Chains A and B, each alone.
Chain A
Amino acid sequence: EIVLTQSPGTLSLSPGERATLSCRASQSISSSYLAWYQQKPGQAPRFLIYSASNRATGVPDRFSGSGSGTDFTLTISRLEPEDFAVYYCQHFGNSPSYTFGQGTNLEIK
């Protein structure tokens, strides 16, 4: 089973700054099978990115995804107050086995 490791665990930044969140897979995966989600306290997760780099409908273009192989990145170009949340990456594996990373908590500095 593929293990996804997200870093850092917590990222403290200020509005207007750039955020870079990492998701590393335990072995090489197809970028087609990598997605990202945002979760705010007390809310359900929200779908952000599919196939590593494609934004879901309605997601602002300050959110971008990139990467290949074992290393994937979610970048938020200029943080807005509503962007502070927990972010999860997800891999759609065979069998099926749909694993999530442990999450990165993006907090206001």
Chain B
Amino acid sequence: EVQLVESGGGLVEQGGSLRLACAASGLTFSKAWMNWVRQAPGKGLEWVGRIKSKPDGGTPDYAAPVKDRFTISRDDSKNTVYLQMNSLKTEDTAVYYCVWSGYYYRFDSWGQGTLVTVSA
């Protein structure tokens, strides 16, 4: 069974930085494409970005609202994916989910999420 455990959420002031981590187990992490999805309080789901596996290039891609502020990276030796968030805005307040794509065009497994609150 795939398990994804996010950590690193919390309260940060506008303009500040935070790094989230997602520890994965139950999958061959080195081959996994990993995503981050967020959900603002009471709102719907929004894709934040993804990182390909290193065999597939290891490159990240980002949604427009976070491009140039957020960075996704991975450490395959630790089975962990990271989301570095800089220049945070109040509208970045959300629960952030780590998500595994077991195959193309699907989000198979989701972590429990970690709450990021950005204060004005």
Chain B CB within 8 A of A35 CB: yes
A53 within 8 A of B: no
User: A100 to B47, Cβ gap below 8 A?
Assistant: yes
Interface string of A92-105 (1 = CB under 8 A from B): 10011111111100
Residue of B nearest to A51 (CB): B105
Q: State in angstroms the CA–CA spacing of A35 and B111 once bound together.
A: 18
Whether the Cβ atoms of A37 and B111 lie closer than 8 Å is no
- Residue pair B105, A92 in contact (C-beta under 8 Å): yes
**Which residues of chain B are near A51, meaning CB under 8 Å?**
105
Is A72 interfacial (CB 8 A cutoff)?
A: no
Asked whether, in the complex, the Cβ of B105 is within 8 Å of the Cβ of A37, the reply is no
Q: Select which of A47, A88, A102 is within 8 A of B106 by beta carbon.
A: A47
A95 pairs with B61, CB closer than 8 A: yes
Taken residue by residue from 8 to 30, chain B's Cβ proximity to chain A (1 for < 8 Å, 0 otherwise) reads as 00000000000000000000000
A50 to B108, CA, bound (A): 9
Q: A44-B97, A44-B110, A44-B112 are in contact. Are A100 and B45 (CB under 8 A)?
A: yes
Asked if residues B110 and A45 are in contact (CB atoms below 8 Å), the reply is: yes
Instruction: A44-B112, A99-B47 given; name 7 further pairs at CB < 8 Å.
Output: A32-B105, A35-B107, A45-B37, A45-B107, A88-B44, A90-B45, A98-B47
- The 9 A-B residue pairs with the shortest CB-CB distance, nearest first, are A98-B47, A44-B110, A50-B106, A92-B105, A100-B45, A103-B44, A102-B44, A33-B105, A47-B108
